Amino acid sequence: MATSSNYQIKLDQFEGPFDLLLFFIERDELDIYNIPITKIIKDFLDYIHQGEKLNIELSSEFILFVSTLMRIKARLLLPRKEIDAQGNEIDPRQELIDKILEYKRFKEAAVEMAEMEAVRRFHKSEKTHQKELKFKTSLCSS
> What is the domain count for the chain?
1
Average pLDDT over residues 54-74: 78
Residue 125 lies in a domain: no
The residue segments making up the domain with residue 41 are 4-111
Q: Which residues pair with 89 in a beta bridge?
A: 83
Q: Other CB atoms closer than 10 Å to residue 66's CB: what's the count?
A: 20
Residue 68 lies in a domain: yes
pLDDT tens per residue, range 75-103: 877 777 777 888 888 888 888 889 889 99
**Bigger pLDDT: 99 vs 141:** 99
Residue 127 lies in a domain: no
pLDDT at 53: 61
Residue 142 lies in a domain: no
Residue 87 lies in a domain: yes
Instruction: Return d(Cα 133, Cα 105) in angstroms, integer.
Output: 42
Residue 88 lies in a domain: yes
Q: Is 10 helix (H, G, I), strand (E, B) or coil?
A: coil
Dihedral pair phi/psi, residue 83, rounded to 5°: -125, 135
Residue 124 lies in a domain: no
Residue 136 lies in a domain: no
Instruction: Return d(Cα 129, Cα 138) in angstroms, integer.
Output: 14
